[in-house]
Structure 1
Amino acid sequence: MTYTRLSLAALLAAGLLAAPASADVKWTFGGINPPGAPVTQASKRFAELVTERTEGRVQVDFYEGSQLGSGPAQIEAMAVGAQEGYISSGSNASNLVTEFGVVDIPFVFEDQDHFLAFMESDLAAGLQQRLRDEFNVRILATNWFRLPRVFLTKESCVESPEDIAGKRARSPNLPMFVAGWEAIGTVPVTIAYGETYMALSQGVADMAESAGEQVFSSKFYEVLPYVTDAQMMYPQNSVYVAESAFQQLSDEDKAIVTQAAEDAGDYFVSLVEEQTAPNRATMEAEGVTFCEMSAETRAAFAAKVADSVPAFEEEGLLPEGWWDQIQAMK
């Protein structure tokens, strides 16, 4: 897929970046998660906060459940100015800036603090700058922290890499995610998020992964009732906005919108904390089995990924030297 690079200079020349508007503006934001998911609830809160705090100068209409298309389609639409915003996985930006896929490398981060050290690093800041300058996409907030990614399987929990060797694993259409599944021995099958439940029900894939809080709202557990706390990745959601739309706001409204994105992120985290225990109890009552993954098993998976680093670099998915820099952030 080819994406148009839209520098700020080009946008100005095309008239897409104008002086701050005095008239009210309406933004179209999209997501891919179902109505009850915490990220959907928090996205709606973001829309409400923006409209309320700007006294209607900026109105956000949020469309849930892939109504505006798949994640890759929505972020591409933002890049060309056809959609103002998108709220979903922080790694979706890798469809535009490939190196954002580093957060999709399985077992690269030792724990949440290690992941946060990367997110606060100059490496991550440089990626955000490229996203704005080359693709017209600004990241407003990254503090929508999700629970670590788990494995979902059909017949038993995952106790070793051999347990999933050769299994068909559902994957989003993100290059690093696909490469990561291959690195740990599975056969990735790219399936759009909104089509995953049906695909799993039909046996198109044997297993899947999910951010921990999303297992319940996605209902994947109805098809894959074994949930292994693999801590495969430490995901977060990002609030993306088209730079051309953002630059049309007054400085006051830019600050309001940015703060609303951060506040909605805090709300998202609180929802996850509140819902985790009762949702797990409900799933256990319906026959779901939850398993921990040992440190030794995680280390075995991490070793397989480390062996694939030269291939990641050769394919242009990971800049040379980044692996060592990220490991030094522990």
Structure 2
Amino acid sequence: MFSKGFSLSLVSVLGLGASVAQAQTTWTFGGINPPNAPVTIASKKFAELVGERTEGRVTIDFYEGSQLGNGPAQIEAMAMGAQEGYISSGSNASNLVKEFGVVDIPFVFESQDHFLKFMQSDLAQGLKDELRDDYNVRILATNWFRLPRVFLTKESCVTSPADIEGKRARSPNLPMFVAGWESIGTVPVTMAYGETYMGLSQGVADMAESAGEQIYSSKFYEVLPYVTEAQMMYPQNSVYVAESAFQSISEEDQAIVIQAAEDAGDYFVELVTAETAPNKAAMEAEGVTFCDLPADVRAEFSAKVSESVPEFEAEGLLPEGWWAEIQAMK
């Protein structure tokens, strides 16, 4: 017969085991977009999927609308382990690994397929590895494909590089984005995303760009009613997680989190696809003018950018030889 003390000890051990088995991990994730933006809706879907599929072992608290700070602040907080995750532009990683800014070079990619070839290349994989190994930031998913970036202007659509020469263009505080605006003749004005609508309303900048799906939710069109579908860049959102946080959960839950990020990315694309036509119709009803940018004019812009490649390389924004390698991926 077991003693009373032994029985109590056994109960305690079993209770401790159950506690460990049911231990919960809570992650803080942030974003910078408003509540009705597709990326915000999909981010909440990601959090929901993780909670359901891990049966509560991993819970994600998602904070929208720059509640945790602007993009650079949030991704730097992840590098320091002060925040577990962030969902936003794939180029935000350039705050830590400058070469990630290659996706912010205007007119470097000829098409969505061209962009995807780069994202699947050894060049891009090397950047992801450096971000994870040197800065504690892992990329869980990159399949949150957005609509190509457009030009937003006040008085007329853009028909040539001369139309935007010398104009003050809103830019995120990302080195390659700033350099890219300069390469096509504008004067970049850095402005946090959450401050952009007010800044445009006050005339701080003359023009802006936007991923196509964000024009409506951001309401930038109310200030800049001419939208030139320039295909300036082919952006995507990435799901970032602090590597230290990722390694703190089981391999089973790691696999679940990765799959949830990819599934939420597919959901994001569905949202964008479903909203594109009705949102465009709603904006046109409010007097917004949409214009195409002919292929030959895009080629003029690309030629201007190529002239700045030596400067990009000298500033460490673009590894030497990458421009040629990327063009060869067409």
TM range (shorter): over 0.9
For residues 254-294 of structure 1, the C-alpha deviation after alignment (integer angstroms, 9 at most, x for no partner) is 00000000000000000000000000000000000000000
In structure 2, give the amino acid aligned to 1:60. Answer: I
CA distance in structure 1 between the aligned counterparts of 2:306 and 2:21, rounded to whole angstroms: 50
Which residue number corresponds to residue 217 of structure 1?
A: 217
Once the two structures are superposed, the pairs formed by residues 147-186 of structure 1 within 5 Å of their partners are 147-186=147-186
Which residue number corresponds to residue 280 of structure 1?
A: 280
Once the two structures are superposed, the pairs formed by residues 124-273 of structure 1 within 5 Å of their partners are 124-273=124-273
CA distance in structure 1 between the aligned counterparts of 2:293 and 2:323, rounded to whole angstroms: 24
CA distance in structure 1 between the aligned counterparts of 2:157 and 2:51, rounded to whole angstroms: 45
CA distance in structure 1 between the aligned counterparts of 2:83 and 2:316, rounded to whole angstroms: 28
Tell me how many residue pairs correspond in the alignment.
311
Which residue number corresponds to residue 13 of structure 2?
A: none
Q: Secondary structure at the match of 1:319?
A: coil
CA distance in structure 2 between the aligned counterparts of 1:95 and 1:298, rounded to whole angstroms: 28
CA distance in structure 2 between the aligned counterparts of 1:126 and 1:114, rounded to whole angstroms: 18
For residues 270-327 of structure 1, the C-alpha deviation after alignment (integer angstroms, 9 at most, x for no partner) is 0000000000000000000000000111000000000000010011100101111101
CA 1:314/1:253 → structure 2, altered by over 3 Å: closer, same or farther?
Answer: same
Q: Secondary structure at the match of 1:103?
A: helix
Which residue number corresponds to residue 300 of structure 2?
A: 300
CA distance in structure 1 between the aligned counterparts of 2:160 and 2:268, rounded to whole angstroms: 33
- Could you tell me the percent identity over the aligned residues? 82
CA distance in structure 2 between the aligned counterparts of 1:150 and 1:22, rounded to whole angstroms: 48
In structure 2, give the amino acid aligned to 1:271. Answer: L
In structure 1, give the amino acid aligned to 2:269. Answer: V
Structure 1 residue 326 corresponds to structure 2 residue 317: no
Which residue number corresponds to residue 3 of structure 2?
A: none
CA distance in structure 1 between the aligned counterparts of 2:21 and 2:211, rounded to whole angstroms: 39
CA distance in structure 2 between the aligned counterparts of 1:293 and 1:327, rounded to whole angstroms: 20
For residues 173-195 of structure 1, the C-alpha deviation after alignment (integer angstroms, 9 at most, x for no partner) is 00000000000000000000000
In structure 2, give the amino acid aligned to 1:170. Answer: R
Which residue number corresponds to residue 75 of structure 1?
A: 75
CA RMSD of aligned residues (A): 0.9
CA distance in structure 1 between the aligned counterparts of 2:188 and 2:97, rounded to whole angstroms: 21
CA distance in structure 2 between the aligned counterparts of 1:268 and 1:142, rounded to whole angstroms: 11
Are the equivalent residues in 2 in contact too, given 1:153–1:225 (CA < 8 A)?
yes
Which residue number corresponds to residue 84 of structure 2?
A: 84
Q: Secondary structure at the match of 1:69?
A: coil
Unaligned ranges ≥5, structure 1: 1-19
Which residue number corresponds to residue 108 of structure 1?
A: 108
Q: Secondary structure at the match of 2:83?
A: coil
CA distance in structure 2 between the aligned counterparts of 1:321 and 1:307, rounded to whole angstroms: 14
For residues 25-84 of structure 1, the C-alpha deviation after alignment (integer angstroms, 9 at most, x for no partner) is 000000000000000000000000000000000000000000000000000000000000
Q: Which has the larger radius of gyration?
A: 2
Cα offset, 1:22, TM superposition? 6.5
TM (normalized to structure 2)? 0.94
Q: Secondary structure at the match of 1:169?
A: strand
Are the equivalent residues in 2 in contact too, given 1:46–1:261 (CA < 8 A)?
yes
Unaligned ranges ≥5, structure 2: 1-19
Are the equivalent residues in 2 in contact too, given 1:21–1:249 (CA < 8 A)?
no
TM (normalized to structure 1)? 0.94
Cα offset, 1:108, TM superposition? 0.1
In structure 1, give the amino acid aligned to 2:211. Answer: A
CA distance in structure 2 between the aligned counterparts of 1:250 and 1:295, rounded to whole angstroms: 50
CA distance in structure 2 between the aligned counterparts of 1:115 and 1:276, rounded to whole angstroms: 21
